[in-house]
Structure 1
């Protein structure tokens, strides 16, 4: 898909004469793969088995769920237990919540499987795993580090996000993983964190999170066992950093250029006059428009703008700007900014559209044609953007006129109005 010679993007560039296509890898998918690869190569396989089989144990048996619910309520004064979640490879946010819920109910789950182990071999295996404090330490470590990953994923899959702040989110994630294991001061700038070989700067007394350290100090494990677990957790962190470093450089370059268009950078009095030339060329702006962009970039800070905080609102204001002659003297610069901030950085929106499509065209409506399906999806999407629904949407007058022309209305004895559409 993304090779150098025969990938989709290279074929489109070569055969369809589209030299300005930009390849942007989905950040959410990249982070998911980074976590998966780090887990496969460094964490014990029984951790994945523990998470997966705990869900499977309850998902296939209402009786087991009822028994566990009664046990949990007895221990916790009537409180309801949290549902054990499934870890799905195609859902970016499924790992951390599953770990979180198992940790929150660790003792109750341990007791439940202890009672059920004599009846089922799987329950016996799960009880042995829950009885092993080492597995709990691994999950404590994962809870902490996956929380940071999930924050980054949530930002990139969000709908109303500020594009110029995405770079900071990405680098914050990389820094948070690095500083857990490297010597303080080994990396300070973004370039350092993107290129540092963490295995050469490991902190001999790395702190793996308060939850991990507190459980390690209170566990009945031997110092050697705790040391081995720490080593594997550090190896996981090293692998995760390496995976992120390998996957995000291209995204970093694009996001760094988009960050230049933040209101703060745009309205600086002293700035590089040619900072946007590379971005303009990548987005397909010709030399004439690029020259105008450079000139507009030099003078935009001399205008007083009302909304200089939110980047989207700021550039929307620039796009609508008119001088005394009614001419927008920053049109090319605004077009560049809107084009750059419109670049997608995850597949989340596409996945949402697929979900809507599956809802609209279901098994009962499987003969729906593509034109109708596309129209319904577009209507739903626009209603969502405008925050409208069937309760507060008002039909335009011209639509009502068309309906009246093609409809007949009458009242029954019960004052019920029927509408018959005539073709």
Structure 2
């Protein structure tokens, strides 16, 4: 009993202890009792615990800390938990509460990891939300302007104006280090908030640099900027046309500059009258504005050189969206079920669809009823295009 008492006193530090290599209870008890025949098997649970810890600690990623942080992130915030539930519904998995891991009980790590894996799709979406919100904000710039770019009758200058607008917005966001509030909110409790923010700002710069590089070819058409018939046209001068004339001459389009000067003066008078009488004119597409002007002039000699410039300019395709639309129409008609259609038949169908795309079925029906010649061809046995 005395030996056991002395051991316990040593254990709580009331007696001077000698330094020992092993400090577990069995070693101390064995040394205090001086009983060599005491047998100890150790604790297999702790052996496995320590084995696992030693192995896991060699990993570069601290899984234990991640599990603890994920649990702590949601444990006391009902709003975050509800948001996680929504993400679970979004990815179609059943929500289950995250489990708490105890550093002193490594057996608790397995069920915690298992639970995180079950919720991983939702957790991944949740913690990627800052990236998703940023991407959504960034793409909103492109989405609205892409719709404008792909409009059917856009000209090169109109496309250039849209791209310059996108470039301007990207530059302003980069200069102001702009991040949407939705992004800032999700970065508020993130240890890497500053790093992620810098990453987002660098995205603006990359988008800006790429856009600047690829819109450079459009600078060749700066000489045609006078053709955008703006309401504020009092500053428009004939000298603005000189670079355009030289551009066309290099490409084999001869412009009589004497005639062009007089025709230009007539154009300015027309635009000033429209500024006073018909402001809606300047809201039309560029090709529509020029069409109205040409129709308003009775004698072709009054716009012959302007017409040459317009014929060249509007022949330039501003984008390939129209071509892609035609390919889509062809794929719709030339399907596996209709793979024996001849090229001529497909061509005729596509021409009809494309040229009458703005006409409803009822309008097309009425159009056919009024066209006697076309009705007779439809009723005949002869082939027609």
The two structures have a TM-score, normalised by structure 1, of 0.55
Seen in structure 2, the aligned counterparts of structure 1 residues 261 and 120 have a Cα distance that, compared at 3 Å, is farther
1:8-19 equivalences under 5 Å are none
> Quick one: which of 182, 188, 208 aligns to 2:179?
208
> Quick one: which of 293, 309, 313 aligns to 1:318?
293
> Quick one: which of 156, 160, 166 aligns to 1:167?
160
Structure 1 position 141 matched with structure 2 position 134: yes
1:145-294 equivalences under 5 Å are 145-161=138-154, 164-182=157-175, 206-217=177-188, 220-222=189-191, 225-254=192-221, 256-264=222-230, 267-268=233-234, 270-273=236-239, 274-281=242-249, 284-288=252-256, 292-294=259-261
Structure 1: stretches of 5+ with no match in the other structure? 1-75, 77-101, 184-205, 407-420
For 2:307 and 2:246, how far apart are their aligned partners in 1?
Answer: 16
Q: Larger Rg: 1 or 2?
A: 2
1:20-99 equivalences under 5 Å are none
For 2:315 and 2:117, how far apart are their aligned partners in 1?
Answer: 50
Residue 209 of structure 1: how far off its partner (Å): 2.2
Residue 394 of structure 1: how far off its partner (Å): 2.0
1:197 maps to which residue? none
Conserved 8 A contact 1:174-1:241: yes
Structure 2: stretches of 5+ with no match in the other structure? 1-81, 99-110
For 1:162 and 1:233, how far apart are their aligned partners in 2?
Answer: 33
Residue 278 of structure 1: how far off its partner (Å): 3.8
- Residue by residue over 1:49-79, the C-alpha shift from the partner in whole angstroms, topping out at 9 and shown as x without a partner, is xxxxxxxxxxxxxxxxxxxxxxxxxxx9xxx
Instruction: Give the helix-richer structure, 1 or 2.
Output: 2
- Residue by residue over 1:64-113, the C-alpha shift from the partner in whole angstroms, topping out at 9 and shown as x without a partner, is xxxxxxxxxxxx9xxxxxxxxxxxxxxxxxxxxxxxxx99x646436836
Seen in structure 2, the aligned counterparts of structure 1 residues 322 and 243 have a Cα distance that, compared at 3 Å, is closer
- Residue by residue over 1:166-187, the C-alpha shift from the partner in whole angstroms, topping out at 9 and shown as x without a partner, is 333211111111111226xxxx
> Alignment partner of 1:141: what SS?
helix
2:373 maps to which residue? 398
Seen in structure 2, the aligned counterparts of structure 1 residues 145 and 402 have a Cα distance that, compared at 3 Å, is closer
Higher relative contact order (CA 8 A, sep 6+): 1
1:109 maps to which residue? 90
Name the Cα RMSD after superposition: 3.8
Residue 269 of structure 1: how far off its partner (Å): 5.8
Seen in structure 2, the aligned counterparts of structure 1 residues 374 and 384 have a Cα distance that, compared at 3 Å, is same
